[in-house]
Amino acid sequence: MSHRNPDWRGVLARFDAAAAAQPPSVLAAELLSARGHPEEAVAAFRDLLETRPADRRLLRAFVLHLARAGRSAECEEVRRQILELEVSELGIGPGDAESVGGFLRASEDGSAAPRAAPRAYVARIFDGYAERFDLHLEATLRYEAPALLFEAVAASDGAARGDGASPWSVLDLGCGTGLTGTRFRHLARRLVGVDLSPGMIRKTAEKGLYDELAVSDITDYLRGCRERFDLVLAADVLGYVGDLEPLLSASPPVLAPGGRFAFTIEEAAGGAPDGYVLCATRRYRHDPGYVRRAALNAGLAVSCARHAVLRHEGGLPVAGVVFVLEHATASRGRGAGAGGPA
Ligand SMILES: C[S@@+](CC[C@H](N)C(=O)[O-])C[C@H]1O[C@@H](n2cnc3c(N)ncnc32)[C@H](O)[C@@H]1O
């Protein structure tokens, strides 16, 4: 039996001939780039961009080519164009364009990240996501944060297990479409939801789950809040907040005696020098040690810190930690504070 190699050169030649016969395409530009014809590849990309100037996929392919070819000034210029396009496609107004552009850039090139995702960015992203959010999270991302929060809260309190204690007043920070509210509703004598995205709040309102809903930034809400809650929740929200100090220090005044603050964080693998890091996913990840220190500074003790898989992205698990915090004074008597492994 013959083991002759297939005629791969012949196949490539036919492939090239076919590519040359096509209208200008990304494939042709990439072939030119891969075959060591950087100038011709640039010309092909530029031809393509004349007809598709706002095609971000094409622009990203061009950036890769320019980076490979060491053409850093042009590469930078095209990167800037991509960010501008994204900002404008998000419908960000001129007043927020710079901050949102800076945030997106920092997520890509590791430049200094803002302390939190710009509010306009969060609102626009989630407004656009509201209609398909529930299905996407539960069916595609196998979203577990509400159930994990529930388990962590239940583990530290009999009432959540249905042991007969009186229901709580519950504040759901970054409530989104109410997936977490759904999980906790039966325990809540009063359930309040807060979110930056009017679209998410509208979607939640349709479900009639919450006693009160507010469109607000969560830290602003806590600072202005005159009510006390037995339980404050933030499921999968702190990915949009890097610096947790302002949020955590605003929370003790809204906690009723014995009240708790339960939330999830995505874990920064390998730590983070500032305690948090903005990732290419455009979400912040936190170092659990930083969260503990920030909690302590805010006068909160860690009564639970559990490692968990929060959801899946591209089929891969997203690792995080579920925290339950309580007033440091309240926890002393119960021997809490060590709080598990994180
Ligand atoms: C991934 S969703 C999670 C929603 C909900 N907690 C759940 O478990 O389904 C994150 C939500 O947090 C909201 N969010 C992010 N940053 C916020 C902020 N600073 N203030 C208020 N809401 C915020 C977003 O608008 C979005 O609805």
Mean pLDDT of 249-272: 94
More confident residue, 36 or 100: 100
Mean pLDDT of 122-146: 88
The CA dihedral of 60, 63, 68, 70, to the nearest 10 degrees, is -170
The answer on 317 and 180 residing in a single domain is yes
328: CB partners within 8 A, 6+ apart: 296, 299, 300, 301, 337
Share above pLDDT 90 across residues of the chain, in percent, rounded to a whole number = 64
**pLDDT tens by residue, 164-205:** 555 899 999 999 999 999 999 999 999 999 999 999 999 999
Displacement of CA 95 from its chain's centroid (Å): 23
The answer on 140 and 58 residing in a single domain is no
Q: Which residue from 118, 114, 156 is spatially nearest to 276, judged by alpha carbons? A: 114
Its sign, for the CA torsion 215, 236, 105, 218, is positive
pLDDT higher than threshold 50 for residue 265: yes
Mean pLDDT of 267-293: 94
Mean pLDDT of 210-216: 98
How far, in Å, is the centroid of ligand 1 from the Cα of 196?
Answer: 7
Q: Whose CA is nearest to atom 24 of ligand 1?
A: 174
The answer on 207 and 279 residing in a single domain is yes
Residue 334 has a pLDDT of 44
Nearest-angstrom CA–CA distance, 148 and 27: 45
More confident residue, 8 or 86: 86
- Whether 169 is in the pocket of ligand 1, judged by its Cβ within 6 Å, is no
Q: Whose CA is nearest to atom 10 of ligand 1?
A: 237
How far, in Å, is the centroid of ligand 1 from the Cα of 175?
Answer: 6
Number of domains in the chain: 2
CATH code for the domain in which residue 196 is found:
3.40.50.150
- Whether 197 is in the pocket of ligand 1, judged by its Cβ within 6 Å, is yes
- Whether 175 is in the pocket of ligand 1, judged by its Cβ within 6 Å, is yes
CATH code for the domain in which residue 72 is found:
1.25.40.10
**pLDDT tens by residue, 144-161:** 999 999 999 988 775 554
**pLDDT tens by residue, 225-252:** 999 999 999 999 999 999 999 999 999 9
The answer on 196 and 70 residing in a single domain is no
pLDDT higher than threshold 70 for residue 332: no
Nearest-angstrom CA–CA distance, 120 and 90: 9
CA count, 13 A, side-chain hemisphere, 321: 23
**Predicted TM-score of the model (pTM):** 0.87
For residue 39, count CB atoms less than 10 angstroms from its CB and return exposed for 0-12, middle for 13-18, buried for 19 or more: exposed
- Whether 176 is in the pocket of ligand 1, judged by its Cβ within 6 Å, is yes
For ligand 1, mutation pick of 124, 172, 195 (most atoms within 8 Å of CB): 195
The answer on 205 and 81 residing in a single domain is no
- Whether 122 is in the pocket of ligand 1, judged by its Cβ within 6 Å, is yes
* Domain membership of residue 208 as a residue range: 126-334
- Partners of residue 301 on adjacent β-strands: 326
pLDDT higher than threshold 50 for residue 336: no
How far, in Å, is the centroid of ligand 1 from the Cα of 245?
Answer: 18
Residue 335 has a pLDDT of 38
Task: Give the confidence band of 327 by pLDDT, cuts at 50, 70, 90.
Answer: confident
The CA dihedral of 233, 239, 245, 251, to the nearest 10 degrees, is -10
How far, in Å, is the centroid of ligand 1 from the Cα of 210?
Answer: 15
CA count, 13 A, side-chain hemisphere, 224: 8
Q: Whose CA is nearest to atom 14 of ligand 1?
A: 174
Mean pLDDT of 12-29: 79
More confident residue, 217 or 10: 217
Residue 3 has a pLDDT of 60
Q: What is the CA radius of gyration of the chain?
A: 25
